[in-house]
Amino acid sequence: MFNLKEIISSIADVGQKLFKKNEIKKNDLDSIISLCDDLISNKGAAFGITVARNITDLYQTLSPENKLLFFKKINEKFKPNHTKVGEAIETYKKTQNDKNLYNLFIVSEGKRRELFRRMNMSPNGISTIVSLREDLLKILNENKELQSLDEDLRELFKSWFNPGFLKLEKITWDTKAAVLEKIMKYERVHEIKNMDELKRRLGEDRRFFSYFHPALEDEPIIFVQVALTNGLGRSIQELTKPRSDGEKKYDSATFYSISNCQEGLSRVTLGNFLIKRVVYEIQEELPNIKNFGTLSPIPGFRKWFQSQNENKIKVILGKLPYESVSFLKLADLKIGDTRIATNKGSITKLVAHYLANEKNQKQRPINDVCRFHLGNGAIIDDIIINANVSEVGFNRSFGVMVNYLYELKNIEKNHEDYINNKRIIVSDRLKKFI
């Protein structure tokens, strides 16, 4: 079978013979900007592939300082021409037809997206562009003027990494070693410390699925880990330790870790379709599994709580005493402090409020994990005290985790309700806490 990258590389090699520029030096900002001009202006396929390869190769040699200057230059150089946009608007107002509408779209988009589209012709185009956005995200907070450049990349990635292009693969102990090593590296929720632990997470009572992109060989995009359980999992320690009971009669699938492997794909929605695909895969393989849900972290809860004043916490608690949670602000609070379990009701009320009532400017939950699962059609099912008594779990949320429940018959309805009406659905058991 022909390798697409090899074919593109051979075309680039032929095109290189037509390429008349002087030898390109590493970390050469002027050269890479000049190449971008060539790429945008020339329509020849062979020449374009050659130039795109030279750009992606040269980009990887740029220093952090020159990468910043590169971003600033292409952001300004290839932005929409406001004068032409205004003219296109007036033309469309005078004659509202498809031709003028299309021209308005083209001039309003500018040339930044087209530059990246053509860079993607390079044999390693898509991997370099993902890496490029990762570099951009690191400096975006200090360079707000580059926000539009980031939005251009994000919009392109929504198309390039559309779930229709992605391949779902089941990960097993027989999967390529290169892939397994990357999975260990990319796990961001519950660290995989060694190969023995990875083998455990690929055991008979586990399922592990990952999305791959055809242009990124052996490079996981996002993956999900699932534990087969009786009832939804209520302790990450129990889910990750070896089983000794030989239990085979499971009725539930607990999603306990979802990791986006590529920082450059941040804020590009991938996980929603992944969960639904995995649900169908498990249903087909194991029809006895009837319940699907998560044991999810609550990143940011501890930070949120410690930033709130006493009066607000008292209002949230209602009739419950402030002293039942005030100890959580103590600097010397230790992992597994017995007061956390003793005051389960008060802490549950706080967490339930945080997830369901604390909103961002778009009137969505401020907690990003909560937004993710509600957007997928889940409901907030239960809040679990001491579900993760590790240092990470304690720092996130005092060890508290949450079960999100995917009721198969209601997933789509819940999704639509959340997206269109901003409705947050909680289980009957939690309603009394909100």
Q: Do both 285 and 418 map to the same domain?
A: no
The pTM score is 0.84
Token duo for residue 226: 């699932």
- What is the domain extent for residue 116? 4-160
CA distance 43 to 193: 50
Q: Do both 148 and 182 map to the same domain?
A: no
Q: What is the pLDDT of residue 102?
A: 94
E-assigned strand segments in 216-345? 220-229, 252-260, 291-294
Query: Could you tell me which residues are beta bridge partners of residue 359?
Result: 365
Residue 139 clears pLDDT 50, i.e. is over it: yes
Q: Do both 105 and 57 map to the same domain?
A: yes
Q: Do both 12 and 155 map to the same domain?
A: yes
Q: Is there a contact between 399 and 386 (Cβ–Cβ < 8 Å)?
A: yes
CA distance 19 to 13: 10
Q: Do both 311 and 280 map to the same domain?
A: no
Mean pLDDT for 19-38 is 82
| Average model confidence (pLDDT) across the chain | 90
Q: Among candidates 149, 401, 175, 130, which has minimal Cα distance to 270?
A: 130
From 125, 160, 195, the end of a domain falls on 160
Mean pLDDT for 2-27 is 59
E-assigned strand segments in 29-174? 167-170
Q: Is there a contact between 282 and 226 (Cβ–Cβ < 8 Å)?
A: yes
From 294, 316, 341, the end of a domain falls on 294
Q: Do both 135 and 217 map to the same domain?
A: no
Mean pLDDT for 348-364 is 96
Which whole-number Å values give the CA distances from 273 to 132, 137, 168, 211, in the listed order?
A: 25, 24, 10, 10
Q: Among candidates 365, 364, 378, 369, which has minimal Cα distance to 420?
A: 364
Q: Do both 306 and 287 map to the same domain?
A: no
Residue 6 clears pLDDT 90, i.e. is over it: no
Mean pLDDT for 227-241 is 90
| pLDDT-based confidence at residue 46 (cuts at 50, 70, 90) | confident
Q: Which residues are tagged catalytic? A: 296, 373
E-assigned strand segments in 299-355? none
**pLDDT > 90 fraction of the chain, expressed in percent and rounded:** 77
Q: How many domains does the chain have?
A: 3
Mean pLDDT for 87-98 is 95
Q: Is there a contact between 106 and 69 (Cβ–Cβ < 8 Å)?
A: no
Mean pLDDT for 284-294 is 94
Q: Do both 248 and 330 map to the same domain?
A: no
| pLDDT-based confidence at residue 2 (cuts at 50, 70, 90) | very low
Q: Among candidates 184, 249, 253, which has minimal Cα distance to 406?
A: 253
| pLDDT-based confidence at residue 14 (cuts at 50, 70, 90) | low
Q: What is the pLDDT of residue 1?
A: 41
DSSP-derived 3-state class of residue 267: coil
Q: Do both 147 and 182 map to the same domain?
A: no
Q: Among candidates 153, 121, 128, 116, which has minimal Cα distance to 60?
A: 128
Q: Do both 239 and 316 map to the same domain?
A: no
Residue 274 clears pLDDT 90, i.e. is over it: no
CATH, residue 376: 3.40.630.150
**Helices of type H across 141-254:** 147-160, 177-186, 195-201, 236-240
Residue 245 clears pLDDT 80, i.e. is over it: no
Q: What is the pLDDT of residue 275?
A: 86
Q: What is the pLDDT of residue 9?
A: 58
CATH, residue 43: 1.20.140.90
From 252, 268, 294, the end of a domain falls on 294
CA distance 415 to 421: 10
| pLDDT-based confidence at residue 244 (cuts at 50, 70, 90) | low
Q: Do both 328 and 424 map to the same domain?
A: yes
Q: Do both 174 and 155 map to the same domain?
A: no
For strands 379-384 and 220-229, give the pairing. Answer: unpaired
